[in-house]
Structure 1
Amino acid sequence: MLTPRFELTQSDSEVVITVHAPYANIKDTEVYVDGTDFRFFSSPYYLRLKLPGEIEENDASSGSYDCEKGDFVFRFSKVHVGEHFENLDMITTLLAPPKKKTTVVPTIEVISNPVVNCEDSIHGNSNETTAENTSTNEGNEWFVPQNVPSDNALFSIDSPKYGFASKVSGALAAFEAAWTGEIIDLPLPDATPASERKCLREKHEFESFSEEHYMADLIQEEYLEAYIAFEPEWYKLLDTEISLDGTEKDILKELPNKEYLLDENEIQKVCCGMVDILFGNCYNYRVTMGDNTVESGWTINKLSSTLCWFQEFSNMEEVITACIRRSLCYPLYRNWNLSMKVFQDVKAVIRLGKKYIIKRFCEIHSLFNTSYEPRYILNQLYIKDYLIWLQQVPSSVIESLNSELDGINPKKLQMRLDLVELETAAYSVHEEDLVIENAVHGMVEQVADLKIDENDKEKYMYTMESKKFLNYVLRKHSTSSSDSSDTDSETESDSSSSSSSSSDSSLDSDDTDVKE
C-alpha cells in the first residue's frame, strides 16, 4: 500500500484533513475516525494518523473529492472546541502508531543458577556438580557454551562512535576508504577516537589555508559585493507563513518513526551539530543566490565539521569558530565579511523555528541524495535522524539557541590563521600599487594634454629625434652589458684596425698630394 501525501489545518472548532490520492478508487474509499485515530483507505492508498487531540464525526462533518487535483478533503469537529492541536505539520510524528500502555508482568522462573554451580565446583564440589550438570545438559538442548568474543570482533563497546548523537559505530567498515574519502576527511573513522578528531581537523585546515587566496578575495571584495548584499528568503518570512511543500512532505512521510532518549549533554551536542550543518547550508544558499548548483552538496559537506570529520561540539562558540575557519579554507569565496554574513543567516534561520529548520534539512537531504559522490551515507548517519528528531523536540529547545548565538562575537584572532597580519600586508602592497598606478595615469594624461604650436614644431621634432636616439642607446647598452667581458678583445681589435685604416687613408691622402 502507498502512503499518500496529506495536509492538516485547523480552526477553533474543526480539523480539515486533505489527502492527495490521484489514483484512488473512489467507490472503495473508507474513512474511520475514533478519538485521536484517523484512518483512510482507498486502493492503492492507506493512511493512518495519530492526532494530538480528539476529533469526532457528526452532522457538521463532511467529505469531498476534487477530480482535477486528486484531493480528498475531510472536515471533522473537535471534541473540545477551542483546543489547539500542536504540530499538525510534523508528518513523521502524525504517522507514528499509537503507543500501547501495558503492565509488565514477570514471566521468567529461575530454576537453577549456573554461577552458583560453578562456584561450588571451584570450592571442591566438582564431582557432584559435574554429574548434575551432565544430566541437566542432556535434557536441555538450548544449553550452549558461551565464549568471550575475540579482539577481532567487528563491534565493540569501546569502538569510536559517530552519527546522530554518536550512536553508531562500525557502519563504514564495509566501505572502501578511497570511496568514503570523497565525502569524509577523517582518516579511519572506525578507528580514530573522538578525542583526536578536533586536532586532526585543525591541522588539516591549517595546511589547506591559502594566504594568497584569502588576500585576493580581501583586496578584490567588489567581486563578492553581490553575494554579501544578497537578501535570502529567511529575512522576508514570518514564522506563521512557513509551510512544507510537496517534495518536503514526501521526504518526511517516508522516514521511520524513532524515539530518542537523550540526556541534557547529548541534546546540547545535537544542537551544536545542527547549527554546524546549517552554516554550510546558509553559505551555499547565499553564494548561489538560492539557485543550487552541482557543487552545492560538496559545499555543505565540506564546511560542516560534523559531516566531514564526525566531530562533536560541546558549546556554540566552538561551533561558529570551526565553521568560519572552514569557510576561509575551502570554498571558492573566502572572505571574512561574507562568513560573518552567513553567521547572521544562521541566526535568522534559528529564529524562524523548527519548521523552517526542517525545510533547510529537507533541502540538504535532497542534495545529498542526488549528489554524484556517495553523500547518501551522510543522510543515513545524520540528516534523516535530524529530520525525525526536529519533529519531536519541543520548540523551547530551539528557541533557547537564539540567546546563545546572540552572545557570540567571532574575532579574527580566534581563527589562528594570522588573518590580521595578512590583511595588513595585503593593504600595504595594495596602497603601493595604487600610488604607482596613479603616477602612471597622471603621466599619460599629461602627455595626452600636450599641444604643439607651429613655432615650436622644429624644437619638438628635434626633441623627439633626441629621445629616439637616447632610447636606441639605452637598448643597445642593456643588451650588450652582460657580454661586456667577451667584447672587450673585439673592441680592441676593432680599434687597432680602425687606427691602421686611418693611417692608410692618411698615406693615400699624402700620395694624392704628391701626385697633384
Structure 2
Amino acid sequence: MLTPRFELSQTEDELTIVIHAPYANIKDTVIHIDGTDFRFYSTPYYLRLNLPGEIEETDASTGDYDCEKGDFKLKLSKVHKGEYFENLDMITTLLAPSKKQKNIVPVIEVISNPCVTTNEYVDKENESNEDKDDTNNINDNGDEWYTKQIPVSEDIYSLQSPKYGFANKISGALSAFENAWIKEIIDLPLPDKTLVEDRKKLRENDEIKSFNEQHYMADFVETDCLELYLSYECEWEKLVQADISFNDTEKDILKELPNKEYLLDDNEMKIALFSMVDILFASCYNCRTTLGENTVESCWTINKLSSTLSWFQNFSNMNDVILSCIRRSLCYPLIRNWDLAIRVFQDVKKVIKLGKKYILKRFCEIYKLFNNSYEPRYILNQLYIQDYLIWLQHVQNYRIEELNLLLENIIPTKEELDLDLTKIEEAIYMVQNEDLVIENELYTLPNDLEKLIISNDNKTYVNINSRISPLTTDSDSDSDSDSSSSSSTTSSNSSSSSSNNYNSNSNCTSNNSTLNMD
C-alpha cells in the first residue's frame, strides 16, 4: 500500500484534509473517523493519521474528488468547537500510531521445569530446535522466522566506546566500513576509537594547516566578485513565518520517515541544538555562494564546513559553534572572506527566527542532496539528518526561540580565530599604500621630465614649456669680460652675431624637438 501526500488546514469549527491520490479506485474508497483516529483507504493508497484533536462526521461534513488533480478534499467537524489543533504540518508525527495506556500485569518467566531433569530438558530442547530447522525456520503459527544470530563484539557496546551521531548517542556504527571509504566524507581519523575530548584539538590543528594566507589575501583584495554574493537575497530574507509550507518533495521525505521518541537530558539537548546551528551555517553558506542553485559541489561544501558532519564535533557553548563555522569557511571553500562569513552568520539568525518548520525545510534539502551524492554521504543522513527531521517535529518551540537569544549576544572577532587575520590585513594595507605612492610618482614623472636640465659642453639648457634657454657658465662670463675690455665694438658685434646664431639654432632645435648630445 502507498502512503499518499496530504495537507491539513483548519478553521475554528472544521478540519480540512486534502489527500493527493491520482490513481485511487474511487469505488472502493473507505473513510474511517474515530476521535483522533482518521483512516483513508482507496486502492492502492492507505493513510492513517493520529490527529492532535478529536473530529467527527456531521451533517456539515463534506467530501469531494477532483479528477484533474486527483485530490480528495474532506471537511470534517471538530468535536470541541474553537479548539486549535497544533503541529498540523508535522507529517511524521501525524503518521505515528496513537498511544494507548496498557494495563501493567505481572510477567512470569519460566526458567526451568523442576519436574524434568537437566539432561532430559536439554535433550527435549535440542529436539525442538531440530524440528524448527526442518520446518524452514518457521514456528507453528507460521508468522515468525528464526535465523541464526551472530553475537556482536563486546567492544561495540562498551560504555567506553566513543559516541557520535545525533545527540551523541551512537557508537560502533562505522566499524563495518573500510577506512578509505569513510575518509571521503569524514575528516575525523578512526571515529570509533578517537575520544570525544580529542576531536576539538585535532580539528583545530587541521584547520590551521589548511589555512592559506595567499588565498585569503586574494579574496580580501578582489572585492568585485564578492559583492555578488554579499548582495544576493536568499529565500529566507523574503519569507514570513505564516507563508512557510512544505512542497511535494519535502512531504515525500517526511512521510517516509519512521516515528521515534527521543528522551534527551539537558546536556544531550544542548548538543543537538548546537550541532543543528552548525549544520545550518553550512547550508546557508552553500545557498549564498551558489546564488540559490545547488551545484555538484554543494554536498561537499555542507559536509566540509560543518564540524558536526566532518569531525563528529560536540559543542558546549554557542560561541564555539560560530567560531568553528567561521574558521572552516575561511579554510576550505572556494570563497574565503570574513565579510561573507559574517553575512552567513546573519543568515543563520534569520533562518532560526522563521521557526522549526523552515529549519525542517533546510534539513530536507540536505537530506536530498546527501542521498543523491556520489560519495557515501547517505551515512551522514542515517547518523544525523534523518534523526533531526524526526526530532524537530517533536521539539518544543521555546527551544528554538532560546537559540535566538543566544545568537543575538554573540559578536565574533577575528582575534578569536587564531589565524592572524588582523596581521595579514595590515600587511595588505601596507602594500596597497606603497603601490599608491609609486603610482603617484609615476603620474607626476612626465611633468618632472619637462623641467629636466640638459648639459652640453660648456652650455646648459633648461626645457621650460617646450622651449630651451641657455644658462651662462663661469667660463663664458670670463671670456665675455676679456672681449669687452679689448674692444667694445667688436664685442658688441660678436655678441649680436652670436645671439643671432643661437636664435637660429634654438628655433631649429625647437622645431625638431631633438637635442644632439654628441
TM-score (norm 2): 0.80
Q: 2:509 aligns with which of 442, 448, 458?
A: 458
What is the CA distance between 1:110 and its match in structure 2? 7.0
Give the equivalent residue in structure 2 for 1:284.
286
Deviations along 1:381-405, one digit per CA (max 9) or x if unpaired, are: 1101000000011111111111011
- The secondary structure found in structure 1 opposite 2:208 is helix
What is the CA distance between 1:459 and its match in structure 2? 4.2
User: Quick check: 1:425 aligned with 2:427?
Assistant: yes
Q: 2:226 aligns with which of 200, 224, 227?
A: 224
Give the equivalent residue in structure 2 for 1:312.
314
- Say whether the 8 Å CA contact 1:272–1:319 is kept in structure 2: yes
Give the equivalent residue in structure 1 for 2:382.
380
What is the CA distance between 1:458 and its match in structure 2? 3.1
Deviates more, 1:37-46 or 1:167-176: 167-176
User: Quick check: 1:238 aligned with 2:236?
Assistant: no
What is the CA distance between 1:463 and its match in structure 2? 4.0
What is the CA distance between 1:206 and its match in structure 2? 0.4
Within a 5 Å distance, the mapping from 1:141-152 to structure 2 comes to none
User: Quick check: 1:12 aligned with 2:12?
Assistant: yes
What is the CA distance between 1:223 and its match in structure 2? 2.1
- Say whether the 8 Å CA contact 1:219–1:430 is kept in structure 2: no
- Say whether the 8 Å CA contact 1:28–1:43 is kept in structure 2: yes
- The secondary structure found in structure 2 opposite 1:285 is helix
- Whole-angstrom CA distance in 2 between matches of 1:210 and 1:191: 30
- Whole-angstrom CA distance in 2 between matches of 1:289 and 1:433: 34
What is the CA distance between 1:156 and its match in structure 2? 2.9
The verdict on how the C-alpha distance between 1:333 and 1:111 changes in structure 2, with shifts beyond 3 A counting, is closer
What is the CA distance between 1:111 and its match in structure 2? 6.4
The verdict on how the C-alpha distance between 1:414 and 1:453 changes in structure 2, with shifts beyond 3 A counting, is same
Q: 1:357 aligns with which of 354, 359, 366?
A: 359
- The secondary structure found in structure 2 opposite 1:47 is strand
- Whole-angstrom CA distance in 2 between matches of 1:446 and 1:224: 40
- Whole-angstrom CA distance in 2 between matches of 1:150 and 1:29: 47
What is the CA distance between 1:172 and its match in structure 2? 1.6
Within a 5 Å distance, the mapping from 1:43-62 to structure 2 comes to 43-62=43-62
What is the CA distance between 1:108 and its match in structure 2? 2.0
Give the equivalent residue in structure 1 for 2:73.
73
- Whole-angstrom CA distance in 2 between matches of 1:88 and 1:273: 26
One-letter identity of the residue aligned with 1:7 = E
- Say whether the 8 Å CA contact 2:467–2:510 is kept in structure 1: no
What is the CA distance between 1:153 and its match in structure 2? 5.0
Deviations along 1:18-68, one digit per CA (max 9) or x if unpaired, are: 000011111111111110011111111000000000000010001111111
- Whole-angstrom CA distance in 1 between matches of 2:2 and 2:104: 35
**Relative contact order, CA 8 A, sep 6+: which one is greater?**
1
- Say whether the 8 Å CA contact 1:197–1:311 is kept in structure 2: yes
The verdict on how the C-alpha distance between 1:101 and 1:437 changes in structure 2, with shifts beyond 3 A counting, is same
Give the equivalent residue in structure 2 for 1:493.
none
- Whole-angstrom CA distance in 1 between matches of 2:516 and 2:347: 66
- Whole-angstrom CA distance in 2 between matches of 1:442 and 1:297: 53
The alignment of Structure 1 onto Structure 2 pairs a total of residues equal to 446
- Whole-angstrom CA distance in 1 between matches of 2:363 and 2:447: 58
One-letter identity of the residue aligned with 1:358 = L
- Whole-angstrom CA distance in 2 between matches of 1:413 and 1:307: 26
One-letter identity of the residue aligned with 2:21 = A
- Whole-angstrom CA distance in 2 between matches of 1:74 and 1:441: 80
One-letter identity of the residue aligned with 1:187 = P
Q: 2:345 aligns with which of 317, 325, 343?
A: 343
The verdict on how the C-alpha distance between 1:108 and 1:463 changes in structure 2, with shifts beyond 3 A counting, is farther
- Say whether the 8 Å CA contact 2:168–2:271 is kept in structure 1: no
User: Gaps spanning 5+ residues in structure 2: where?
Assistant: 128-150, 451-463, 469-505
- Say whether the 8 Å CA contact 2:277–2:321 is kept in structure 1: yes
- Whole-angstrom CA distance in 2 between matches of 1:444 and 1:2: 83
- The secondary structure found in structure 2 opposite 1:387 is helix
What is the CA distance between 1:168 and its match in structure 2? 1.6
What is the CA distance between 1:368 and its match in structure 2? 1.0
Q: 1:212 aligns with which of 204, 211, 214?
A: 214
- Say whether the 8 Å CA contact 2:4–2:46 is kept in structure 1: yes
What is the CA distance between 1:138 and its match in structure 2? 6.7
- Say whether the 8 Å CA contact 1:219–1:427 is kept in structure 2: no
The verdict on how the C-alpha distance between 1:106 and 1:446 changes in structure 2, with shifts beyond 3 A counting, is farther
Give the equivalent residue in structure 2 for 1:480.
none
Give the equivalent residue in structure 1 for 2:192.
190
Deviates more, 1:184-193 or 1:42-51: 184-193
One-letter identity of the residue aligned with 1:89 = D
- Whole-angstrom CA distance in 2 between matches of 1:15 and 1:217: 54
Within a 5 Å distance, the mapping from 1:97-246 to structure 2 comes to 97-109=97-109, 154-246=156-248
The verdict on how the C-alpha distance between 1:77 and 1:152 changes in structure 2, with shifts beyond 3 A counting, is closer
The verdict on how the C-alpha distance between 1:225 and 1:15 changes in structure 2, with shifts beyond 3 A counting, is same
The verdict on how the C-alpha distance between 1:151 and 1:362 changes in structure 2, with shifts beyond 3 A counting, is closer
The verdict on how the C-alpha distance between 1:396 and 1:461 changes in structure 2, with shifts beyond 3 A counting, is same
- Whole-angstrom CA distance in 2 between matches of 1:438 and 1:310: 54
What is the CA distance between 1:177 and its match in structure 2? 1.5
- Whole-angstrom CA distance in 2 between matches of 1:241 and 1:364: 21
User: Gaps spanning 5+ residues in structure 1: where?
Assistant: 113-131, 143-148, 470-516
- The secondary structure found in structure 1 opposite 2:65 is strand
Q: 1:299 aligns with which of 291, 301, 321?
A: 301
Deviations along 1:164-188, one digit per CA (max 9) or x if unpaired, are: 1122222222222222211111111
What is the CA distance between 1:445 and its match in structure 2? 9.1
The verdict on how the C-alpha distance between 1:151 and 1:427 changes in structure 2, with shifts beyond 3 A counting, is same
- Whole-angstrom CA distance in 1 between matches of 2:107 and 2:262: 28
The verdict on how the C-alpha distance between 1:300 and 1:65 changes in structure 2, with shifts beyond 3 A counting, is same
- The secondary structure found in structure 1 opposite 2:407 is helix
Deviations along 1:281-337, one digit per CA (max 9) or x if unpaired, are: 011111111111111111111100000001111111110010000001001111111
Deviates more, 1:375-384 or 1:157-166: 157-166
- Whole-angstrom CA distance in 1 between matches of 2:508 and 2:227: 51
TM-score (norm 1): 0.81
Give the equivalent residue in structure 2 for 1:392.
394
Deviations along 1:180-215, one digit per CA (max 9) or x if unpaired, are: 211111111111111111111000000000011111
- Whole-angstrom CA distance in 1 between matches of 2:16 and 2:103: 36
- Whole-angstrom CA distance in 2 between matches of 1:109 and 1:256: 32
One-letter identity of the residue aligned with 2:301 = T
Q: 1:416 aligns with which of 397, 415, 418?
A: 418
Identity between Structure 1 and Structure 2 (%): 61
- Whole-angstrom CA distance in 1 between matches of 2:418 and 2:516: 60
- Whole-angstrom CA distance in 1 between matches of 2:227 and 2:447: 31
User: Would you tell me which structure has more helix in proportion to its own residues?
Assistant: 1
- Say whether the 8 Å CA contact 2:21–2:45 is kept in structure 1: yes
- Whole-angstrom CA distance in 2 between matches of 1:140 and 1:66: 61
The verdict on how the C-alpha distance between 1:150 and 1:365 changes in structure 2, with shifts beyond 3 A counting, is closer
What is the CA distance between 1:17 and its match in structure 2? 0.2
- The secondary structure found in structure 2 opposite 1:224 is helix
Give the equivalent residue in structure 2 for 1:269.
271
